[in-house]
């Protein structure tokens, strides 16, 4: 459920995902590859991070390779307590966290 909620703010109000780093709505052209940065609140090598890796693999497979996910461990892009703000400001497209 956390992953789904993390995706919603990144979708930009239903216009579709943004290409990496632009914050602009993406087109729906066939063959478009979408790159989303996803920061986990877990450290690499933990069970929680492994679940994130598995989810990313499933999402990439389900998209037929049209979505490429860059998964980062806790603190790699922003601090753990800044994940939600980073998604809201489109610094990253997806994040998981807890408070």
- The residue ranges of every structural domain in the chain are 33-99
| Non-local CB neighbours of 85 within 8 Å, separated by 6+ positions | 78, 91
Beta strands in 1-99 (DSSP E): 34-39, 67-72, 94-95
User: How many other C-beta atoms lie within 10 A of the C-beta of residue 73?
Assistant: 17
| Non-local CB neighbours of 31 within 8 Å, separated by 6+ positions | 66
pLDDT tens track for 29-83: 677 899 999 999 999 999 999 999 999 999 999 999 999 999 999 999 999 999 9
Whether the predicted model's global pTM rises above the 0.85 cut: no
CA proximity to 11, closest of 41, 36, 39, 40: 36
Per-residue confidence (pLDDT) for residue 4, from 0 to 100: 45
């Amino acid at each position: 459920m956390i992953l789904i909620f993390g995706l919603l703010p990144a979708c930009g109000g239903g216009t579709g995902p943004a290409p990496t780093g632009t914050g602009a709505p993406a087109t729906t052209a066939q063959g478009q590859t979408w790159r989303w940065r996803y920061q986990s609140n877990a450290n690499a090598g933990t069970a929680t991070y492994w679940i994130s890796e598995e989810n990313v693999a499933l999402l990439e497979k389900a998209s037929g390779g049209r979505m490429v996910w860059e998964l980062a461990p806790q603190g790699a892009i922003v601090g753990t307590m800044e994940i939600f703000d980073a998604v809201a400001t489109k610094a990253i497209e997806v994040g998981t966290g807890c408070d």
